[in-house]
Structure 1
Amino acid sequence: MEEEKTRAASALLERAQAQVSEPTRTKLGEFADFIRWSFSKLEMRRFFRWFGQFIGNFPIPSLIAFGIMLSLIAFAFPMNLRDRVRDGYTPSNSKAYLESQQLRDFSGLKGDPMMTSVLLRATDKSSMIDQDNLMEAVRMLQHVKENISVPAEGKDYKYNDFCGHHCRQNDVLDYFALELRNFRTGTLSLFKSNLTYPMSTIMGQKVHLERNFYGVKTSFNAERNYTNIDYCELILLTFTADIQRPEEEEIVARWELAVSDFASKRSKDERVEMLVIGAEIVDLEMNKDSQRMTPYFAMGFIGAAIFIFISAWFSLFIYGRLSPDFRGCGMVTANMLLPVFVCVVPAMAILTTFGIYGLIGLRINSLMLIMPFLIMGIGVNDSFLVVHHWLRERTTFTRSELLGLVFEDVGPSITMTTLTNVISFAIGACAPTAEIALFCAGSAIAMGLAYIYTLLFFGALLAFYSAPDGSPEPKKTRRQKQVCTFFDKLLLWYSKLLQNNIFRSVFLLIWIGFFIGGIIGCSSITSKLETEKILPHETPIKLPNRIIEEQVWTEYYPVIVMVHRPFDVSDPTLNAEFMGMVDEFEGLEGSRGPNSTILWLRNYKEYFDFVAAGDEGDIFGDSDEDKVDIQKGQYDNSQIEGFLGSPITKHFRGMMVVDMDASPPVRKFSFVVAYRNHTTWDDRIRIQEEWREICERHPNLNATIWNVNGMFVDQMQSLKTLAAESIVATLAAMVVVTFIFIQKPVPVAVAVLSIGSIAIGTIGYIAIWNLDLDPVTICAILISIGMSVDFTAHISMYFVNCPRRHDGLPPSSLDRLVHSIGSIFWPAIQGNASTLICVLPLVALNNYIPLVFVKTLTLVVIIGSAHGLLLIPMFLSLLPTSALEWDLLSSRKPDDTVSTIDRSTIGRELQMLGVDAVGTKSAEEPLLMTPAEP
């Protein structure tokens, strides 16, 4: 035995001396050596060894630091739960954002107009213009306007307090109901009226019915020649609020929720059904549904905890840490608590992240409530790896030595994977879309905290478990030895299988088929974001949302066109150019035509001619002294004030900015053009681009457009660009980080190409799995890219840094396979299984956002595991040692190179043999030598 020990020590010392000998050097190598020597104190493995020893010697300060960071949890409650579905997924640099800002500037508002839609339908499917149904609709209109209020700032706010120029936008219902009752009762009206659809004449003025009446069936009936309407399925009332100051946004939001609450409390037996939808209601429903995930998170947490307990106890059993003779039963009991602390690390990271958000004042959106599932599943991976290496080390070391060796082994690896995950999310946090940025920033913080807590908290606990009493190695029972032998044989068989040419060929064909399928899926993925899709599965607002999308927008799809320049009615050139632009808008496919366009200029000219005829005095109350001498058809700006004062046309005040002291008085204005049959998002994207192109063709008019779906359209148009930029930036970051840690071009190239393959497969099979490219899938894709490093980096690093044999010879391909797979296989299985177990309960929720993450994580775990445990080691085993060891910055030839991990391993093996290292400064740092000074 002593003779074998001496021979092994001699071989190791020869390797040590080889490290000290002067290598073949080049000028580039000499410079690289100088840089390395200069920064040797910062060498990664040495740093982690020192840090592990520090934690081992001072675990109490580490736990105190952990407790201080944990105190941030106090700010986590109550959470500011809120979504912004309308604009939160739209890039802040998009055209829609600019158009919204121009709309605010046009109206002098501090925020976008907030619109609440109230849909009224007869419960018995009868026509809404039946007398009883129509009068009930009028009563509900009055109730919403006059009776629903919310307390704020010491007063009760009603709709009239914040409606601005939109207070009378639903008056057409009152006028229509009044005139219809007059016709039915035979009451004579002062004005000539007819109630035809879509354009009626009420009180002598044209009134648009298509904005309020839907599902209309028309025919001519001589007995009721006052209207052509046979049936009306739906009446839509729109309540628009002008946000004059930031505080009003919250007041209007509460008022909208009060309207929704009123509608939900109405009896189902009422004659008229009332459905309400608005941006605040959608946001509330999204958050209410997200909060329903709490029991599912509990299920996932419990399931993952059970698996962690079972797998961790199995590891403890294999390594003899549950044996009764191992440091007494008290140590056994303590070791049994390890799985508890494995679960605590990500849980504390999640709560601390919410605390940081609460401290900063950031809101928590629905995506952020998915984050706990991800961190709980992914955050335990580092702890699994630490436990695995801690159990493999000898227990004869002191706790500082043991923890130093463990951190030296796993520190660089978990640092690399955590850094890549954090960078992946950080890139997403820089995205110009608010909801994605919130989620990615929170996930990056949580991932970073899980890493820090693993080193501080979990490392300190392991220091307590590794008592410095120098007790002997635990004795394994016969059963434990049998199990260990079985797994050793299984590992060797699996490693040899990866070297089998038949297996390699079959797997290569499978991978080629998989890759082709991924490319096909990537090429077929479509950009699409539909509110219907992201709404909760059982939310009551799905019905009004579907009615809006499938019926209202099919029959009436408006665009607001704003002209940001003074307009002189008497300027024929300007009038001709403007009307030419109007004709272009009205000539687009699906246009409802001039009769549906709401344009003040046409009404103004009718009013002007009406006044010129001399009959306006009796109707509008003008005195003789106010009359001016005007002629019909010779239009000028003289009647603007009277036009906006008329009870029939004063609603145009909300569409015009007028200064009667300026010349011309009309400083800027807007008009509305309506379309029909734009039923798909492809249609809406196309028509919005055409609107913008028309505005660009008339720069003199300085026109812009605004549409209620502008944000969603730009979201869809920007999704592929956003996804491509995020993916490219993330992959580039992965290349840099992987190279910094592995430092060898060939293994880095293999790892990076594998990351790309995993990303292509995940994205492609997401598309094949009936998922579209939307903000939710972009978040999931960023996760998949970040996680893919876990599958590629660990195996590459351990494969390259395989120590030499005890006889001093370089490791063979089989040695590298056994070493790398043995180092990461069991922790990888533990981490992947816990990730899936944690997120799988979300399937029962059956909502779109959770299902996207479940599908994505399932794909990335399956595809990533196949790459990390099959493809990468199989491919690396085909490469010669010179290619694996080639280092661009190294001054040594590949054949002479011995990696840092090899030198560290030599020193550790010498310590175990009781032999002091030669050529070292101290026994504490064997063979961690700096190169000779140049």
Structure 2
Amino acid sequence: MVTLQPAARMGWDTISAVVARILAAYPVYSILLSILSILALSAGLVNIRLEPDIRKSFSPEDSDAGYETRVWLEYYGLKIYPERAFCIFTAKSEDGSILQEEALRDIYTVDTRLVQAVGLRDGDGRRNCDPLCDLNSPFHLLANQTRKNNGTTAVFTYPDMPYSGLDIFLGLHFSNVDFKPPTHRISSRSLVLWYFSRSDTPEGKLAFKDAIDELFDLSKNSSAFENVEFTIFSDQVANREMIRGAIEATTLMTIGFFLLLTQVIIVIKRLSSIKMTAYLVTTSLLTPMAATIASFGAICWMGFPSFSIQCVTPFLVLGIGVDDAFILLHRWKHHIAISDTPRRLEQVIVDVGPSITITSLTNIIAFGIGFFTPTPQMSLFCLTASLALLLDYIFTYTILAPIVFLCNDPTYQSVPKDETISKADTWLAKYSRFVCSLRGRIVCIFVLIGMYGLTTYGVMTMRTTFEPAKAFPSNSKLVDSLSNIKPVFNRYFPITVIVNNPPNISNEIEYDSFHNMMNRLEHVPGIRGDNRSLIFLPQYEAYDKLANSFSILLGDKYRPSYDSLPNWMDAIGNPPLVKYHLDENNKTIVTSFRLTLLGKGMSEWAERARAMQHIRTVLREEQQFNATLFDCDSAILSIILTVGTDLIGSIAVTVVCMAIVCFVFIANFNAVAVITSIIASICYAGSFPSGLQDHNSDPPNTMNAIYTAILVASTLAYSAVAWIGLSMDPTASEDLF
């Protein structure tokens, strides 16, 4: 089978022989002990904890996104992250407007239902939406103005609407806007309304959930409203739809399971007697399944949560576990001439040990290293897979091998090879001779050059991004919601910045330094400049200047200060723009405030991720203001820019682990180099998109690529080491297949 290092072979063969003798002497005890171990580990499943929060699956607590979220929560006085939802309304008629009275009635039907849910008060009298209850005030102000003036307003500009001395920004609500300055008439094809719910009480959480579920079901009915089309997106629905997608994907994967079952039956039928086929097929499939269940139980015993992505683990382990079963059964049949069954098992274990160990150990190590990746769902997926593969490796010896031993049929006789030669065997023999011929080698070289060329082109043109619609089933209404929100995000996208060490606006140098920071932020690619950011200071300064107008008339030079801030905040209704207090001298001390940068073209997640990174860089360099940004999706954005590096690193780790393990067992250094280059070549060509495909480098595709690399490495390793074992045989080209 595999040529080993002399010392390694002696030691491994001795260990394998001892293991085989123990299994042959106590096969039933080995099986029972393994089953008890499976039951003990699987008992942990009673404590299984499914993590439904998408954000927690992408970003650890100690990441930039985790820190920024904690700062944001502290600013608003929240203990847990609130649940969010947004509703998108689009006028049904081509020339219609969502500001027409008929459309407004439909919109207010939805808005009233959600306002009722988020307006529920807790025992302390706080509303479920506090302190973010006024997110839709700009829409309500405009709607009231429009209703009063039949679609026109006396003094109006877009996207800012003057109201009671303030400029109310409308850009976060309306898209496809038609504003005609001469007539001051505004119309808009679509509207977005935003809702937040603290949901930190069971009653508040249930009220918001009931409202969201009711409206989500309503959005599935296209004729629910006569004048507007309505879609809704919420964290609750997104988590639920993501889990539904995982369940549907698992259901589709069961088709692959039945195809695998068919293949296992066909192969094992050729390797054993008819009456033993059922036992061997069942064991070959149940062994990796039991290992997977036990690994999930072990994860639960450790106190880790489970993520939806882990549902692919059984199919990964099945693919590798069945390979090991085929190898074991093939060698059992190969040594049919050995009549002494314990001696036969010993020879089989000695033969297959290196091959099974190389493939299993490589994957165990590769996934084990993956546990240290910062992304929680990737980390736990790798840990679960590593444990499952380790247990499957053990159970291959302690369950499958004893059952093969017990199912030995002394009456079974293998069909002589020269009596029946199938067409497939004839074709494979011809193919192997062609591949090893000069003409075949030339053809292979040109094919490889073409594949490498296409793959390289695909890698060079591959975009790093993320399409959230991929996380949900294709028939989910959330896909429509995400599509409808893109025009809004492309025009105006809010990026919150919390300034925890505000400038002293009375200090000209300090205030100029703050303006310099704002200027740098507004020059970040993708961020709107020209003082387009939403910050309270300009409007407050105008109020403060008006409050000090008498002293200015007397000739005093105006110097801005926070002294008028309490009165100004009272005048505008005390929104959560600024946090301040009065000191012992009755002087206003501002401790922190919120500002909003406005992005453009942010429906492309890669652009958002790059903008976030640039903003973080500016804020770190302007550390005197202790400012942090916040984006609701920063947990996902933080991994987008590193996904390509993570992909290359994961595949490189797999290949290196395979090379190291192979070198331990295989004596020929050149052979290890050949095996490693073959595995790296196939991982490169198979894991990256070719030039004929339009793929992006995003987390789902990264998972697919890593999954492919692991399966390729495990499948190819045995073929490669088998070839090395046959390389000393002059007829190797025919025996390979």
Alignment TM class, shorter chain as reference: 0.7 to 0.9
2:504 corresponds to: 568
Q: Comparing 193-202 with 378-387, which one deviates more in the overlay?
A: 193-202
1:542 and 1:630 map into 2 onto residues whose CA distance is 61
Q: Name the SS of the counterpart of 1:482 in structure 2.
A: coil
Normalising by structure 2, what TM-score? 0.87
2:579 corresponds to: 657
State the Cα distance separating 1:296 from its structure 2 match: 2.5
Q: How far does the alpha carbon of each residue in 1:180-237 deviate from its partner, in whole angstroms, 9 at most, with x for none?
A: 3444599xxxxx9744432222234332222222222111455xxxx431x1222222
1:881 corresponds to: none
* Contact kept? 2:501, 2:591, Cα under 8 Å: yes
Q: Name the SS of the counterpart of 1:668 in structure 2.
A: strand
- What amino acid does structure 1 have at the position aligned with 2:112? Q
* Contact kept? 2:688, 2:705, Cα under 8 Å: no
- What amino acid does structure 1 have at the position aligned with 2:367? F
* Contact kept? 2:610, 2:641, Cα under 8 Å: no
State the Cα distance separating 1:457 from its structure 2 match: 1.2
* Contact kept? 1:591, 1:674, Cα under 8 Å: yes
1:114 and 1:434 map into 2 onto residues whose CA distance is 21
Q: How far does the alpha carbon of each residue in 1:266-301 deviate from its partner, in whole angstroms, 9 at most, with x for none?
A: 363334444221333222111112212344233322
State the Cα distance separating 1:124 from its structure 2 match: 4.8
Q: Name the SS of the counterpart of 2:420 in structure 1.
A: helix
Q: Name the SS of the counterpart of 2:730 in structure 1.
A: helix
1:525 corresponds to: 462
Q: Comparing 70-79 with 335-344, which one deviates more in the overlay?
A: 70-79
CA 421–392 in structure 1, closer or farther in 2 if over 3 Å, else same = same
Say yes or no: does 1:285 pair with 2:237. Answer: no
State the Cα distance separating 1:168 from its structure 2 match: 2.0
Q: How far does the alpha carbon of each residue in 1:129-172 deviate from its partner, in whole angstroms, 9 at most, with x for none?
A: 2224334434533331224689xxxx989996443321222223
* Contact kept? 2:578, 2:592, Cα under 8 Å: yes
What fraction of aligned residue pairs are identical, expressed as a percent? 20
Tell me which of 564, 567, 587 is aligned to 1:639: 564
| Structure 2 residue runs without a partner (length 5+) | none
1:578-593 mapped onto 2 (5 Å cutoff):
578-586=514-522
Q: Name the SS of the counterpart of 1:211 in structure 2.
A: coil
* Contact kept? 1:429, 1:441, Cα under 8 Å: yes
1:212 corresponds to: 173
Tell me which of 127, 130, 134 is aligned to 1:168: 134
1:707 corresponds to: 631
Say yes or no: does 1:537 pair with 2:507. Answer: no
CA 256–729 in structure 1, closer or farther in 2 if over 3 Å, else same = farther
1:669 corresponds to: 593
1:347 and 1:606 map into 2 onto residues whose CA distance is 70
Tell me which of 211, 214, 225 is aligned to 1:262: 214
Tell me which of 364, 371, 375 is aligned to 1:433: 375
2:481 and 2:376 map into 1 onto residues whose CA distance is 26
1:637 and 1:812 map into 2 onto residues whose CA distance is 87
State the Cα distance separating 1:84 from its structure 2 match: 4.5
State the Cα distance separating 1:75 from its structure 2 match: 4.5
* Contact kept? 1:128, 1:235, Cα under 8 Å: yes
Tell me which of 236, 239, 248 is aligned to 2:192: 236
2:284 corresponds to: 342
* Contact kept? 1:528, 1:716, Cα under 8 Å: yes
1:46 corresponds to: 14
1:460 and 1:157 map into 2 onto residues whose CA distance is 64
CA 341–295 in structure 1, closer or farther in 2 if over 3 Å, else same = same
State the Cα distance separating 1:127 from its structure 2 match: 1.6
1:488 and 1:315 map into 2 onto residues whose CA distance is 16
1:177 corresponds to: 143
Q: How far does the alpha carbon of each residue in 1:645-669 deviate from its partner, in whole angstroms, 9 at most, with x for none?
A: 23x2511xx2323232377611122
* Contact kept? 2:502, 2:590, Cα under 8 Å: yes
Say yes or no: does 1:133 pair with 2:103. Answer: yes
CA 292–50 in structure 1, closer or farther in 2 if over 3 Å, else same = same
CA 424–497 in structure 1, closer or farther in 2 if over 3 Å, else same = same
- What amino acid does structure 2 have at the position aligned with 1:270? F
- What amino acid does structure 2 have at the position aligned with 1:213? F
State the Cα distance separating 1:372 from its structure 2 match: 2.7
1:577 corresponds to: 513
State the Cα distance separating 1:630 from its structure 2 match: 13
Tell me which of 583, 589, 602 is aligned to 2:538: 602
Q: Name the SS of the counterpart of 1:483 in structure 2.
A: coil
Q: Comparing 688-697 with 539-548, which one deviates more in the overlay?
A: 688-697
2:603 and 2:413 map into 1 onto residues whose CA distance is 74
* Contact kept? 2:495, 2:596, Cα under 8 Å: yes
1:491-570 mapped onto 2 (5 Å cutoff):
497=434, 499-549=436-486, 551-570=487-506
2:531 and 2:102 map into 1 onto residues whose CA distance is 30
2:372 and 2:625 map into 1 onto residues whose CA distance is 36
Say yes or no: does 1:197 pair with 2:158. Answer: yes
1:489 and 1:117 map into 2 onto residues whose CA distance is 63
* Contact kept? 2:320, 2:714, Cα under 8 Å: no
1:912-927 mapped onto 2 (5 Å cutoff):
none
1:253 and 1:457 map into 2 onto residues whose CA distance is 48
Q: Name the SS of the counterpart of 1:432 in structure 2.
A: coil
1:838-853 mapped onto 2 (5 Å cutoff):
none
Q: How far does the alpha carbon of each residue in 1:342-389 deviate from its partner, in whole angstroms, 9 at most, with x for none?
A: 222222233333333444454443322223333333320000110111
Q: How far does the alpha carbon of each residue in 1:555-584 deviate from its partner, in whole angstroms, 9 at most, with x for none?
A: 211222222214323222212221233244
State the Cα distance separating 1:529 from its structure 2 match: 1.2
State the structure with more CA Rg: 1
2:635 and 2:130 map into 1 onto residues whose CA distance is 24
1:771 and 1:716 map into 2 onto residues whose CA distance is 15
* Contact kept? 1:121, 1:235, Cα under 8 Å: yes
2:299 and 2:103 map into 1 onto residues whose CA distance is 50
- What amino acid does structure 2 have at the position aligned with 1:314? R
State the Cα distance separating 1:83 from its structure 2 match: 4.9
* Contact kept? 2:606, 2:640, Cα under 8 Å: no
- What amino acid does structure 2 have at the position aligned with 1:45? D
* Contact kept? 1:91, 1:718, Cα under 8 Å: no
1:848-863 mapped onto 2 (5 Å cutoff):
none
Q: Name the SS of the counterpart of 2:582 in structure 1.
A: coil
CA 476–729 in structure 1, closer or farther in 2 if over 3 Å, else same = closer
1:304 corresponds to: 260
CA 308–690 in structure 1, closer or farther in 2 if over 3 Å, else same = closer
1:378 corresponds to: 320
2:255 and 2:425 map into 1 onto residues whose CA distance is 35
1:253 and 1:530 map into 2 onto residues whose CA distance is 28
1:10-25 mapped onto 2 (5 Å cutoff):
none
* Contact kept? 1:424, 1:783, Cα under 8 Å: no
1:158 and 1:139 map into 2 onto residues whose CA distance is 28
Tell me which of 348, 354, 359 is aligned to 1:406: 348
Normalising by structure 1, what TM-score? 0.70
CA 693–290 in structure 1, closer or farther in 2 if over 3 Å, else same = closer
2:705 corresponds to: 781
State the Cα distance separating 1:396 from its structure 2 match: 4.5
CA 496–119 in structure 1, closer or farther in 2 if over 3 Å, else same = closer
2:730 corresponds to: 814
Q: How far does the alpha carbon of each residue in 1:37-71 deviate from its partner, in whole angstroms, 9 at most, with x for none?
A: xx99x811221121112111101111112211331
2:557 and 2:370 map into 1 onto residues whose CA distance is 62
1:818 and 1:649 map into 2 onto residues whose CA distance is 85
Q: Name the SS of the counterpart of 1:117 in structure 2.
A: strand
CA RMSD of aligned residues (A): 3.7
Q: Name the SS of the counterpart of 1:444 in structure 2.
A: helix
- What amino acid does structure 2 have at the position aligned with 1:574? E
* Contact kept? 1:727, 1:782, Cα under 8 Å: yes
Tell me which of 78, 83, 87 is aligned to 1:118: 87
2:311 corresponds to: 369
2:497 and 2:42 map into 1 onto residues whose CA distance is 49
State the Cα distance separating 1:99 from its structure 2 match: 3.4
* Contact kept? 2:490, 2:601, Cα under 8 Å: yes
1:790-809 mapped onto 2 (5 Å cutoff):
790-801=714-725
1:673 and 1:519 map into 2 onto residues whose CA distance is 38
